[in-house]
Chains A and B, each alone.
Chain A
């Protein structure tokens, strides 16, 4: 089946710093999704990507769909304390596959 490798698995950063995380897949995806999950809550969709090479922004978040269709990255600029959470990449084929998650902690 599909496998997603997400890195890094955790990050401690200073408030105001930029953050980058990425996902690679063992197979081609037609759609990449990025979710954020806070403690005790369900994942919330941040960005959806539909075309190879697509670069999409949502406020301070920017994500790109890799040209090979086997990878994607998510950047967060000028991090703030409320960015804390776990970020998951996902490939929503019939059986959606999630990456292991990147746990982000922001030091004020």
Chain B
């Protein structure tokens, strides 16, 4: 089983809303990632968690707040987003942090109005 499950698949929110994206994996992976992907571009790394601790924050604005409640779950809390934050948000996991294959979820398509 190499499945990473993301919910919801689609999300529309206003600029004053608070919402959360969820990601789950049961492969025993200890590294989890959030990426943002704009149309016709490769995924851009946002955050990396290793053993439930934030390892990398790629200078992401504070309106994006990641959380790793346990080794299987990764959340991305959204607050006061801007229309330019509309994108496909991808979660991925890997066995460990360095040099390992990352398995991706199907993503959450986010639209900010």
- Which A residues form the contact surface with B (CB < 8 A)? 30-31, 33, 35, 40-45, 48, 88, 90, 92-96, 98-101, 103
Contacts and interface: CB of A to CB of B under 8 A. Distances in A.
| A interface secondary structure, majority | loop
A33 B109 CA distance: 24
A42 B97 contact: no
B98 A42 contact: no
B56 A94 contact: yes
A92 B93 CA distance: 12
B105 interface: yes
Contacts, number: 57
A43 B43 contact: yes
Interface residues of B, number: 27
A93 B101 contact: no
Interface in B46-85: 48, 56, 58
Contacts of A101: 40-42
B99 A30 contact: yes
A96 B40 CA distance: 18
Interface string B1-23: 00010100000000000000000
Contact of A94 (B4, B98, B101): B98
B42 A95 contact: no
B101 A48 contact: yes
Contacts of B97: 94
10 contacts: A33-B102, A35-B104, A40-B109, A41-B107, A42-B107, A94-B56, A94-B97, A96-B45, A99-B42, A101-B41
